Structure 1
Amino acid sequence: MGLTQKQGLLITFEGIDGSGKSTQLALCAQALQASGQSVVITRNPGGTPFGMELREILLHSKQTVFPMSELLLFIADRAQHMDEVVFPALAQGKMVLCDRHMDSTLAYQGYGRGLSIETIQELNQIAIQGKKPDLTLLFDADPHVLAQRVTQRGQADRLEGEKAEFHRKVREGFLALAQQEPERIHIFNALDSQQALHQQVMQVLAAQRQPLKTL
């Protein structure tokens, strides 16, 4: 990829609810920081103060949120996030680890809600200004199994509480996206142990960072 040490990387962690992506992001960040890498931990939605307000609406609003309105709020969050967090961090050579990004919008609002994939791709491009993730780590498993994890965590948010069929479609969307971009999107078995998954993640990152300092 020809990166120099002055250029950062945008790495996104994806998967349906309960996949353990947030846990793996935290473990990855700890390992990278221990190796001396400058890391920014962030998320979509909610990676900025403005994004936090949008996240509250998107995940906890008691009002009816129609699919297109939901999509546009996610896109607004992403546009703010790229300008406020991602681009400045990458310019400083930092590694940005983001919990959900553009693929979630395609999977949830496109495959899950049934909105136009082409429209979402166009809106995503506006929001990311041409900067796609350098690497995407997708944690995959049967939605029925992962739903049990979500239940154990406590009260589900607005999207977590959707019906099983919705989450099945979202999973299918993620897998379709991975098939379209196998070089960028790496699939992991979310049912593997946390430590096994962490080792797999770090191996993929080590290969991605060959032009940079070794881990």
Structure 2
Amino acid sequence: MAEVELNDIMSSFEANNCQTIPNKLLEYQIFNQPYYTGRILRLLLAPRQVPSPPDTRERLIEALKKRDKSHQSMFAKYERECKKLNNSTSNGEGSSSSKMLLMYSPLEEKLERLKRHYEDNEDQLGPILSQVSTAINQAVSDIKKSIINNNDKSSKKHSGDLCSPGLKEWEIQVVELLLKYVTEIIIKISLPLHESEADITDKQ
């Protein structure tokens, strides 16, 4: 539940060009401190390698840090843990696969928001599928750039066959993630069509 709400909050923040903290988050901060601190803030401040330039999550954290003076120790701990992850990666302790898996969560968040947006706007199928296509193309482009930047010479093109022994952990997870959300969207598209066909058949 908290994960879904946090995704909604980040989606709202992103829709406002990352300029205004969503009212929903401010209400939790003021009127429901236990939930805000124990669930929302802990999820938001899960340590990770911070991307450059900062993504929506990081910009929300920075905006909240300026406003929320009661939880500065949590923000400081988040920054320390993220710095450790950055240092371990730059020192060569992180494998190529672990670097690529850092892209998994942002991609999952985007696809989750797209799926929920489709659920709320079933009559806008064309634009939704266009957004899904754009998100996938961007993810693939980012992955290719990261491979080049990391001089990952051992990486090879593949067909997405999950049985291929040459696939890396991050490649398998990204393919599975894309298949999961594309399948869910196709199912949601198909159900109304089948129901309409069934209604027509019944009337005949």
Higher Cα Rg: structure 1 or 2?
Answer: 2
Structure number with greater CO (CA < 8 Å, separation at least 6) is: 1
Normalised TM-score (structure 2): 0.30
Between Structure 1 and Structure 2, the one with more helix by share is: 2
